[in-house]
Amino acid sequence: MKLQKTTQGIVIDIYVRPNSQQFKVKIENDELVVSCRERPVKGKVNIELIKELSKLFKRRVEIVSGLWSRQKKILITDTGVNEVNEILSAYRSE
């Protein structure tokens, strides 16, 4: 999984699966996959994504690119690579 360090924080590539039964974060084939409950209508998935990932990382999260795509880049502000890796290590699939 590619983590890109910037002056503002860490940028991660993610893949979003809308219309799921529950919100879920998983790492599959070295890619961060996020399942969202909302339907992809009027940005509802993006709102859920930002809200839930902000809770997970305990930091401000924003979408850098891919607002209307399933492939997105998110920015986790004021954090480091080690902290993000530590949080995501719980979501690695065996």
Instruction: Give me the domains of the chain, ranges plus CATH numbers.
Output: 3-91 (3.30.1200.10)
Contact between 11 and 61 under an 8 Å Cβ cutoff? The reply is no
Q: Is the dihedral of CA 54, 44, 35, 22 positive or negative?
A: positive
pTM of the full structure: 0.91
d(Cα 83, Cα 85) in Å, to the nearest integer? 6
| pLDDT of 94 above 70 | no
Q: pLDDT tens-digit profile of 1-58?
A: 789 999 999 999 999 999 999 999 999 888 999 999 999 999 999 999 999 999 999 9
